[in-house]
Each structure stands twice: as C-alpha cells, then as structure tokens.
Amino acid sequence: MSTDETGPAGSVPGRLEREAVGNGTSPPAGAAPGSGSPVIPYRFPDTTPLGEIVERFGALDPGVSTGVEVRVAGRVLAHRPQGRLAFSTLADWTGSLQLFAGAGFTEDFGELVRSRVGDWIGAEGEVVTTKRGELSIRVARWSLLARAARGFGDKWHGVQDPDARYRHREVDLWANEGPRAALLARSRVVSTLRRHLEGRGFVEVETPILHPLPGGATARPFVTHHNALRSDLYLRIAPELYLKRLVVGGFERVFELGRVFRNEGLSPRHNPEFTMLECYQAYADYRDMMELVEQLVAAAAVAVVGGTALSYQGRSLDLTPPWRRATMAELVGEAHGCTIHLEDRPHLESLARGAGIPVRGEWGSGKLLLELYEKTVEGTLWDPVHVCDYPAEVSPLARPHRSEPGLVERFESIVAGRELVNAFSELGDPEIQRRNFEAQAAARAAGDDEAMLVDEDYLFALEHGLPPAGGLGLGVDRLVMLLTDTANIREVIAFPTLRPLGP
C-alpha cells in the first residue's frame, strides 16, 4: 500500500466496505477490488464558487449554451439519474448549481450515475441552461473527491433529533438549512466586533486561560491540575483582572475575544464554555461604555441582518442607538408603583416578600434591591435598556458612584429580557478593592462558593495606578442568538457541550 500513489482511499476498497456499517451501504458492484475503483485525486484546484456562477449568469432563457467552460467542486445534495441523462444538485458553501450529464458527452457517465447523495464531486464543463431553463453545468469530465459511506438523513426532513444534530454536527450542517447560516453569522459577528474595536484604536490581547485563582466574576470554576508545578489551576471564569493589569501596564485600549468557562448548569441559554468580549478603555467611564455597546451591537446587526430593526422569536426588536437608560431603582419603582430608596430596608423587604422572594437575614438592602430587580423586572424588559447604578455590595470590581452613596457606576444592557452586557467605571482604588475582596472572601467562608477570593497580584497591580477606565463584557453567543433569531445557545455553537456517551 505504501507504494500506491492513489493512497488508502483509492487502493483499499475493502476498507470502505468494512467501515460502511451505518446504513448498510457498500461500494457499487463495479468497484470491486482490482476492477477500477475510482482514484481520488490529492487536489482539485482552480474551481469557481457555485454562487459566483449563479450570480454571473442569473436568469437565461431555456436551452442556452454560453460557451463558458468552468471547473467546480462540491457535495451532491440530490441525484436524479434518468437513463442516458442524469441531473444532480451540487452544493458548495457559496450556493448550489445543477450538474447535467449525459452518456453522449460525459466521461465515465456510468460511474457518475452511481454516485450518491453526500459524495463530493469535482466537475468540468460548459455553463448551459436545460430545456426547462435551469442553469446547469454540462459535465464533460468529472472526478469523485470523496465517497459518503453514510447517509445525510431524510430528503425532506433532514435530521431532526437534537441529540443527533449536536453530536454529529457535520451531518446537521448538510442536512438542515439553519445551522450553517447561524455559524456563518457568528463568524461575521466576531469579525465585525474585532474590526470595529480596532477602528477605535483598541488592541487585541490574549491573557491566560489557566488561572491560579479564579477571578473577575462570581461563578464556580473548572479545576485542573498541572503536574510539573504540582498545583491546581482554574479555567478562567473571566479575563477581567488580567486585562486591567494590562491597562495598568500602559495598554490604554485593550480587548480580548475569547472563551470563558463556568462550572454551572446547562440550559438553552447557558453553555459551560462561552465566548465573551471584554474591553477596557482608559480615561473613559461607564457612560462611554454605553455608547460603545450600542455601536458594537448596531454594527454586528447591520453585518448579519442588514439593519438594526429585527424580529426575535416572533416579536420586533429595535437595536437602533441610543438605547434607553434607567437606574435599577427607577425600574423597580416603576414595576411596583412606588419610589425606591436604598436606605429604606423595611420597604425593600416588604416588596421582596410581596414578590415571593425568600429573604435571607444576611442580605443587605443592596442585595434586596438586586433580587427585586432580577425577579420582577429583568425578564420584562424587551427593547434594549442600560440598567444603571447597581448596589455596591453586589459589585466588588466597580467604582463607587460619583454622587449616589451605596451605589456603583455599573450597568447591564438587557435585550429581550436577558443580560447581554455587564460594564462599569472600573474600580482603581487598591484599598477599596482590598476591602471588597475581603468582604467577598468572608461571604465565601460563610458558604457562598461563588464569591471571589483576595487576589494579591491584582491588588499589587492596582497599587501602581489604574487610570480612570471604563470596561465592558459582552456575551457573544447571546448576541449571535439575537441576530439569528435562535432560542437555544447550542444552535450558535458549532460543538456544544453534551454529556459523553458510554459507560
């Protein structure tokens, strides 16, 4: 076998046969060992994308011969042999086009007739229209590029079983319409975010994924172990602290687009690993971040759907800047028809009990306000809102509000009832930061296993001076969900986390 230049796929047809266990398919009878089973080429260069051909020739009259020869490659999505003629639908990632073959003008016509849905094929021929007027390639020569030994699902229904779709995404991508569009949209979103930030002078950086201490968010981490260092490390729950250390180091505008990992339950809106955009801008505050969020989201929307007004899950959604800005206290007051004062704890407590929230004694009035907001307001917000001015006690990394005691300059951007962005005027005072960390550590000691730890390296960095800065974190998967009108986060992740099969 090692001397056979056609390689294993072409030289050992018997192997194909043994591996074709799925649906009982096997090579055509004509491809028995030694009797000329097709030779798979190592390359098939200089092809024209099918979408380009469709666009160039558009609508022609029936029965036209253009005189233009093209070379194309793709996957057979439908196959309609008809005696001494055969029609196939070939698709690549730019579009699809019909192949038109005939015994009188196509080399190896008999073999082409035996090709199957799912096979990869390269072909050369003239661009024509058939008698019925369909743009086609009149195949003169062709080559099998890969044999599909397994099927791609039902012709009408594709593959519907979610388990099969997510476990075998390669099948899903060919068998169903939506998934490929969703992943391409995701790519456009990421590319747009990156270009937009670079256009504003931001520099993309990469910070560690293996953290000696989890930090930058309240979440349970994944733990792993480094053998040579003989120490446990944590997969990052947020890049925040490292990015701000870069700002201390003089990187005035930084961003990172990357995966973070949180050891929490799965749901249609939560995957254990997800993509977050975080950026930090020196000399800016949280109001500047609101403007940045609006421009980033609007740019992504234009890139994917062509505008900032769209439809999500049957409801219209307008992402056009500027977005509404309201404080958390205002929104909670609106919902309950009263005025909220953070210092009026008995009032907050009675509202919470009225809303059926189990109030815990150790909660401060800030935590009470946050609970009220999350349980009674957040899910009801639809069009975008920047929810501003969070309680200090639930925001250990944000800077105290310039005029409102007990609050910090923090906002979350809520779109379609869900948190899309979390952002602050960054806390640069190392003494306040140390006190906040210590309060978190105390909560952790009291049993809150999502509370933060004291990060001495981060405090050391702050002691060298963090300039005034605004920072934001944006959930990229959720943004893609909004722009592709999908309800399940797994639809916009190529290979979502699934429970492993087997014993």
Partner RNA sequence: GCGCCUCUAGCUCAACGGCAGAGCAACGGACUCUUAAUCCGCAGGUUCUGGGUUCGAAUCCCAGGGGGCGCACCA
Residues numbered 158-177 forming contacts with RNA, rule: CB under 7 A:
158-164, 166
- Closest CB to RNA among residues 103, 184: 103
Query: Using CB under 7 A, which residues numbered 265 to 294 contact RNA?
Result: 265-272, 274
489/475 Cα distance (integer angstroms): 11
Q: How far is the CB of 476 from RNA (least distance, A)?
A: 9
Q: Is 497 helix (H, G, I), strand (E, B) or coil?
A: coil
CB of 243 to RNA, least distance (A): 16
95 makes contact with RNA (CB under 7 A): no
The residue among 334, 308, 335, 310 whose CA lies nearest residue 322 is: 308
Pick from 420, 423, 466, 482: which binds RNA (CB under 7 A)? Answer: 420
- β-bridge partners, 315: 312
- 63 neighbors 22 (Cβ within 8 angstroms): no
Regarding 15 and contact with RNA (CB under 7 A), the answer is: no
Hey, what amino acid is at 436?
A: N
Question: Would you count residue 306 as binding RNA (CB under 7 A)?
Answer: no
Q: How many CB atoms lie within 10 A of CB 320?
A: 14
Residue 64 to residue 89: CA distance in whole angstroms: 19
**Residue 140 or 164 with smaller CB distance to RNA:** 164
Is residue 410 involved in binding RNA (CB under 7 A)?
Answer: no
Nearest-angstrom CA–CA distance, 475 and 492: 12
Taking CB under 7 A as the rule, does residue 67 contact RNA? no
| Range 208-237, binding RNA (CB under 7 A) | 217-220
Q: What are phi and psi of 197, to 5 degrees?
A: -65, -40
Residue 82 touching RNA (CB under 7 A): yes
Query: Smaller CB distance to RNA: residue 116 or 188?
Result: 116
Among 29, 59, 228, 446, binds RNA (CB under 7 A): 29
Q: What is the dihedral of CA 275, 419, 193, 267, to 10 degrees?
A: 30
With binding defined as CB under 7 A, does residue 485 bind RNA?
Answer: no
Q: How far is the CB of 10 from RNA (least distance, A)?
A: 18
Q: Give min distance, CB of 254 to RNA, in A.
A: 20
CB 268 → RNA: shortest distance, Å? 4
- The answer to the question of residue 26 lying near RNA (CB under 7 A) is yes
Q: Which is nearer to RNA, 122 or 496 (CB)?
A: 496
Tell me the window of 126-134, 303-311, 332-340, 359-367 that interacts with RNA (CB under 7 A). Answer: 126-134
Sign of CA dihedral 422, 426, 430, 431: negative
Q: Tell me which stretch binds RNA (CB under 7 A): 1-9, 195-203, 324-332, 473-481.
A: 473-481
* Residues near RNA (CB under 7 A), total: 78
| Shortest spacing between CB 40 and RNA, in angstroms | 17
Q: At closest approach, how far in Å is the CB of 20 from RNA?
A: 8
Residue 194 φ/ψ, nearest 5 degrees? -65, -50
Total count of residues recorded for the chain: 503
When the beta carbons of 248 and 392 are compared against RNA, the nearer one is 392
Give the closest residue to 216 by CA, choosing from 197, 193, 243, 246: 243
If binding is defined by CB under 7 A, does position 499 make contact with RNA?
yes
Residue 422 binds to RNA (criterion: CB under 7 A): yes
Q: Are 214 and 221 in contact (CB under 8 A)?
A: yes
**Of 34, 83, 250, 314, the one binding RNA by CB under 7 A:** 83
Helix axes 328-336, 365-376, angle to 10 degrees: 60
What CA–CA distances, in Å, run from 268 to 34, 482, 488?
52, 13, 5
Residue 477 in the binding site for RNA (CB under 7 A): yes
Rounded to whole angstroms, how far apart are CA atoms 468 and 286? Answer: 10
- 46 versus 449: smaller Cβ distance to RNA: 449
Classified as helix, coil or strand, 409 is: strand
By CB under 7 A, tell whether 428 contacts RNA: no
Residue from 6, 207, 295, 488 touching RNA (CB under 7 A): that is 488
Q: Is 25 in the site for RNA (CB under 7 A)?
A: yes
Nearer to RNA, 174 or 458 (CB): 174
Helix (H, G, I), strand (E, B) or coil at 71: strand
Which span (177-185, 320-328, 334-342, 488-496) binds RNA, by CB under 7 A?
A: 488-496
Query: Closest CB to RNA among 75 and 478?
Result: 478
C-alpha 483/C-alpha 59 separation (Å) is 31
Task: Compute the distance between CA of residue 286 and CA of residue 393 in angstroms, rounded to an integer.
Answer: 18
Q: Residue from 8, 14, 33, 133 that binds RNA (CB under 7 A)?
A: 133
Which residue number, 248 or 271, has a Cβ lying nearer to RNA? Answer: 271
Token pair recorded at residue 133:
């007027």
Look up residue 248 and give its two tokens: 């201390």
Rounded CA separation 477/419 (Å): 12
Instruction: Determine if 18 is a binding residue for RNA (CB under 7 A).
Output: no
Composition of the chain by helix, strand, coil, percent to 5: 35, 25, 40
